Chains A and B, each alone.
Chain A
């Protein structure tokens, strides 16, 4: 079945640095790749998503890139701030399929 691997499991950066989280997926039919942010004790919330007809998408300080050939997608956060500290989840799904989440990355931004 579909599998999504996410790395690293923890990431610590200094405020102002960039952070990159990487995911790979197994099902080549996957065509939707969202990223969710979950702050401590809160619900997961969608921060950005990308579909397979697009290679890159940006929204202010966050961007996602997709390499369909390698079945790989990444989240990039620039100019990190303490409020970016959270657990980030990648996910993948195909039409008619279920959304499979990666294992999560705990990002810590140190002031």
Chain B
């Protein structure tokens, strides 16, 4: 069974559209994250939730809205997509609060905005 699963794996869309990426973890972890990996491979944290509560909210445009219906799920909704949003988005989870624990990453969603 996949520990952290995210869908879709690929997402190709036009500028201005709204899209969502879903993430689920079956590890019983308390904390979930969204990371963005740009074309230069740099991994940057966007959001983190601990037991459904937002604990990290980096300087991300408010077109990006995370939602955590329960501690096993963290979805990412993006409004009015722009060319610069093209990247690979990784969901991740960890056992405890915040980041002094091993991160388990999902397989990534490659978003291409045309």
Contacts and interface: CB of A to CB of B under 8 A. Distances in A.
A58 B55 CA distance: 33
A89 B41 CA distance: 10
B98 A44 contact: no
Nearest to A36: B103
Interface string B82-110: 00000000100000001110110111100
A107 to B, nearest CB: 12
Q: From DSSP, what is the main secondary structure of chain B's interface residues?
A: loop
B56 A34 contact: no
Given A98-B56, A101-B42, A104-B42, A43 B108 contact: yes
Interface residues on A, range: 20 to 34
B76 interface: no
Interface in B18-72: 40-45, 48, 56
B103 A46 contact: yes
B87 to A, nearest CB: 14
Contact of B100 (A31, A36, A44, A46): A31
A44 B107 CA distance: 9
Interface residues of B, number: 18
Closest A-B pairs by Cβ, 10 of them: A99-B99, A43-B105, A93-B99, A101-B43, A32-B100, A104-B41, A46-B102, A44-B105, A43-B107, A98-B56
Interface of A: 31-32, 34, 36, 38, 42-46, 49, 87, 89, 93-99, 101, 103-104, 106
Given A32-B99, A43-B106, 19 more contacts: A32-B100, A34-B102, A42-B107, A43-B105, A43-B108, A46-B103, A49-B102, A89-B43, A93-B98, A94-B100, A95-B98, A95-B100, A97-B98, A98-B56, A99-B103, A101-B42, A101-B43, A104-B42, A104-B43
